[in-house]
Amino acid sequence: MTPTWATVELARHPERPYSLDYIKLLCDEFVELHGDRAGADDPAIVGGPARINGRSVMVIAQQKGRTQAERVERNYGMAHPTGYRKALRLMRQADRFRLPLVTLIDTSGAYPGVEAERTGQAWAISDCLTAMAAMTVPIVSVIIGEGGSGGALALGVADRTLMLENAIYSVASPEAAAAITWRDGDRKHSAAAALGLTSADALRMHVIDEVIAEPEPAHLAPAEAAANLKEAVIRHLSELEGTDPERLVGSRYWRFRRFV
């Protein structure tokens, strides 16, 4: 097993803390809101207003599910268009009520099924990208486990992007990349190494702003990982607080423009 693949397995570990676990440890208060206001509620996306260390924020996160029944219910954190439309509704509320936005990213990707494509998956994701790019409040995103493809980026157009040490962030899963590149899914280890998906890789490429240390892998020391995550989120929100909205939007644009 390669070191990169070992990180992939840690990011996917079934006992690793998920978004709702971190929300309980991160937030003083959290009120989950449901529904996309078009007739559906996707449990793969959770979100609502919260307080972090006394600061009012909006939290939007991807939730995989702990038990097998919950994983099925939440579709393993792979959101349908309804989930991204719910996220979009909460983004607009955050902007309207001047609430900084905190997103927790943990998904292998958006759900790729035919029904999702038929009901506007790409459109729903692009609406989130557009909305986040134009928000006039600070945005801090944290990749806590898997950050896969457009499903992750839909919650990742941020002023500051942070990443837990044993998380991964990539344009595609190693399995998908191996199948596309070599038509051989068994070459997932090689694909993982080529993708540069570890937190160290992302920091080196300036895709993220900070790696949040895990003294031990988060599934072994969840409280310590959550404490480090909370400290980093509060620090970055404090640094962004009071920034002129026009400057926020402009800086966010150029932050992503330089990746091209």
- Each residue's pLDDT, cut to its tens digit, for the chain (260 residues) gives 678 999 999 999 999 999 999 999 999 999 999 988 888 899 999 999 999 999 999 999 999 999 999 999 998 999 999 999 999 999 999 999 999 999 999 999 899 999 999 989 999 999 999 999 999 999 999 999 999 889 999 999 999 999 999 999 999 888 888 888 898 878 898 889 899 999 999 999 999 999 999 989 999 999 999 999 999 999 999 999 999 999 999 999 999 888 76
Confidence (pLDDT) at 103: 98
Q: CATH number of the domain that 46 lies in?
A: 3.90.226.10
Confidence (pLDDT) at 39: 81
Domain hosting residue 31, numbered range: 3-257
Burial of 204 (0-12, 13-18, 19+ CB in 10 A): exposed
Q: Is 0.85 surpassed by the pTM of this model?
A: yes
Token digits for 129?
């990208």
Token digits for 252?
């966010």
Helices 245-257 and 121-134 meet at what angle, rounded to 10?
130
DSSP 82: H
How many angstroms separate the first and last alpha carbons of the chain? 32
Token digits for 131?
């909305």
The total domain count for the chain is 1
d(CA 14, CA 212): 20
Token digits for 69?
């029944």
Burial of 103 (0-12, 13-18, 19+ CB in 10 A): buried
DSSP-assigned beta bridge partners for residue 103: 60, 141
d(CA 126, CA 40): 19
- CA count, 13 A, side-chain hemisphere, 234: 14
d(CA 256, CA 133): 9
214-251 in b/e burial notation, b at 16+ Cβ within 10 A? beebbeeebeebbebbbebbbebbeebeeeeeeebeee
Confidence (pLDDT) at 204: 94
